[in-house]
Amino acid sequence: MRKKQPDGPGRRFREERGSALLMAVFVVAIVGAMGIALLFQTTVEIKTSQTSLDVKKAFYLAEAGLEDARMTLWNLNDKGQDSFDDDLVGTAGVDGDINFDADQLVAARDSNGNVIGISGYGDDVPIRPLTNFAEGYYAAFVTNDPANTGGYASKNDSNDRVMITSIGVGPNRSVEVVQGIISREEIFPSVPPATITLLGPQPVFLGATSTPKDYDGEDCGGSGIPGLYVPVVGTIGSAAEANAELGINKNPDFTSGPYEGPDTFADLTDPAEETVVSSGYGTINPMWTDCLALKQMVEAVRGVADVVCTTPGCTWPPPSPDRVVFVDGDWAVPGKVKGQGLLLVTGELQFHGGADWNGLVFAIGEGSFGRYGAGNGTISGATIVADIAGPDDIYGTADDCTGGDGGFNPVIYDERGGGNSDTTYCTDDFALLDLVKPYDIIEFRQF
């Protein structure tokens, strides 16, 4: 029979030590479990965060494909001048039909999981094929705007809009699809409404003094659109018209259809003006008289220009009927120049001697135009002058469109030294200038 151990300090010590050990093991187990749980939670959060990051990368890749397709379309269409019809026909593939369905797009992979293409669009032709970019790939496709007559599968564009669908494939099999409606919009709201349009209050018109000089508002001097004639000088408001008429000299001829002299000057905002009514264009589009809208037009021209230069340092570009020249600052057109297209100068614009221009001449910014020296040069097309440079009279600063009347200050149109040169309205000379803004994304969605 086992003897009972006597009670005493030694036994109590052993029991307490056993209890402490058990408690320690229990605490270690709890701490270990908490550590494991925390590690698991951290791992899950890291994976979730990585997944979220991969999805974002795929989304940005899809956006990159949308932008690439937008600029590709812009360049294919001669800087937006052509319609979308050819693009829609080109995307239709061998069977001649647009079969594209964004819901069917998937990333095709090899046996190792590497991306080798995009499938799910039949024989349609992507505007941007599978393209490697950063940490993934994108591809983009063009269809018609769903609101277009005939729907997204129609190959005829009825509203100057198409839809681009772009798929982005990021790391770890992440995929995102985005769509954007692309709109084609003209930079200018209408053709110039007069041979010389002077925007803003109290325009200073200083007409030439040489006898042979002519100002003509009949289209192309009578050889253009039959019966079309516009005011020789168009202003905004009757007071501005009266101020411009002070510069008429008796020697040059001002003619437009059956009208002569001061009758060829008109307030372009007045529907009762006979030359405004007779032009067929009606009163001036209000966007021409909105200073901020006009500045946006100027900057849109900068964006599509074939030549952009800041004076001093500009060199004369080769002329062509559809060439766009943007000069940021003052510029003088040399006497022997035979220019064509659109010339937009934000500073003081001068024509010297026999300089010719067939097209549009815009002095929009500081609003100063001058013609100097002897010669027989002509401006055939239309001219617009506007001072939107604000109180500091420097275009491109923070105070643009903040001074004067609605943001416009008085302009100066000075031809007292213009020799025998003529000024004629002519639609033929700006017919090839189909100026279109860079395509805007007017609607956007993410799948």
Phi, psi of 174 (to 5 degrees): -75, 140
> Residue 444 CB: number of other CB atoms within 10 A?
12
Residues 138 and 237 in one domain: no
Answer yes or no: do 426 and 280 share one domain. yes
Q: Domain for residue 16, yes or no?
A: no
Three-state secondary structure call for residue 154: coil
Is 38:30 a contact under the CB 8 Å cutoff? no
Beta-bridge mates of residue 255? 216, 260
For 68-107, give one letter per residue: b (16+ CB within 10 A) or e: bbbebbbeebebbeeebeebbeebbeeeeebebebeebeb
Judge contact between 418 and 208, C-beta under 8 A.
yes
Where a domain ends, among 135, 163, 184?
Answer: 184
Is residue 137 situated within a structural domain? Answer: yes
* Integer CA distances (angstroms), 168 to 46, 118, 128, in order: 23, 10, 12
DSSP 261: G
Three-state DSSP state, 415: coil
pLDDT computed for residue 344 by the predictor: 97
Domain that residue 269 falls in:
196-430
Are the C-beta atoms of 139 and 129 separated by less than 8 Å?
A: yes
User: How wide is the angle at C-alpha 111 spanned by C-alphas 107 and 115, nearest 5°?
Assistant: 30
Judgement on whether residues 292 and 156 belong to the same structural domain of the protein: no
- Residue 203 and residue 173 in one domain: no
Name the DSSP letter for residue 372: E
Residue that finishes a domain, picked among 119, 151, 184: 184
Closest CA to 222 of 256, 262, 266, 252: 256
Identity of the residue numbered 105: L
Same domain, 210 and 326: yes
Q: What are phi and psi of 296, to 5 degrees?
A: -60, -35
Residues 302 and 156 in one domain: no
For residues 159 and 219, membership in a common domain is answered with no
Helix (H) or strand (E) holding 64: helix 9-76
Domain end point (choices 126, 149, 184): 184
- The DSSP 8-state label assigned to residue 285 in this structure reads P
Tell me the two tokens of residue 70. 């937008």
Q: Which of 377, 378, 389 lies closest to 429 in space, CA to CA?
A: 378
Question: Are 178 and 234 in the same domain?
Answer: no
In a domain, 37, yes or no: no
Residue 356 lies inside a defined structural domain of this protein: yes
Alpha helices in 256-317 (DSSP H): 274-279, 291-304
Residues 6+ apart with CB under 8 A from 306: 317, 323, 324, 325, 341
Residues 275 and 162 in one domain: no
Is 266 within a domain? Answer: yes
Q: Tell me what pLDDT residue 25 has.
A: 66
Q: Please report, for residues 32, 161, 301, 392, 417, the alpha-carbon distance to residue 217 in angstroms, rounded to integers and kept in the order given.
A: 93, 36, 26, 34, 21
50 domain-assigned: no
In a domain, 439, yes or no: no
H/E element, 37: helix 9-76
CA distance 274 to 277: 5
Phi, psi of 237 (to 5 degrees): 105, 150
Convert the pLDDT of each residue in 368-383 to its tens digit. Answer: 999 887 777 889 999 9
Tell me, yes or no, whether 159 and 240 share the same domain.
no
Q: Each residue's pLDDT tens digit in the chain (447 positions)?
A: 555 555 555 555 555 556 667 776 676 677 676 777 676 665 555 555 556 888 999 999 999 999 999 999 999 998 787 889 999 999 998 999 999 999 999 999 999 889 999 999 999 999 999 999 989 999 999 999 999 988 989 999 999 999 999 999 999 999 999 999 999 999 999 999 999 999 999 999 988 776 557 899 999 999 999 999 999 999 999 999 999 999 887 667 899 999 999 999 999 999 999 899 888 888 999 999 999 999 999 999 998 898 998 877 777 777 788 899 999 999 998 888 889 999 999 999 999 878 899 999 999 999 999 988 777 788 999 999 999 999 999 999 999 999 899 999 999 999 887 667 789 999 999 998 988 888 889 999 998
Nearest by Cα to 277 from 257, 247, 253 = 257
* CA-closest candidate to residue 447, choices 55, 97, 172: 55
Backbone angles phi, psi at 199, to 5 degrees: -85, 145
**For residues 356 and 333, is the Cβ–Cβ distance under 8 A?**
no
Please tell me the total count of domains within the chain: 2
Selection from 116, 115, 102, 108 nearest residue 166 by Cα: 102
Q: Which of 434, 293, 266, 438 is nearest to 364 (CA)?
A: 293
In a domain, 35, yes or no: no
Cis-peptide into 321, omega within 30 deg: no
> Which helix or strand (DSSP H or E) is residue 74 part of?
helix 9-76
Do 163 and 219 sit in the same domain of this protein? no
89 and 231 belong to one structural domain: no
pLDDT tens figures, 203-226: 999 887 765 578 999 999 999 999
User: How many other CB atoms sit within 10 Å of the CB of residue 431?
Assistant: 14
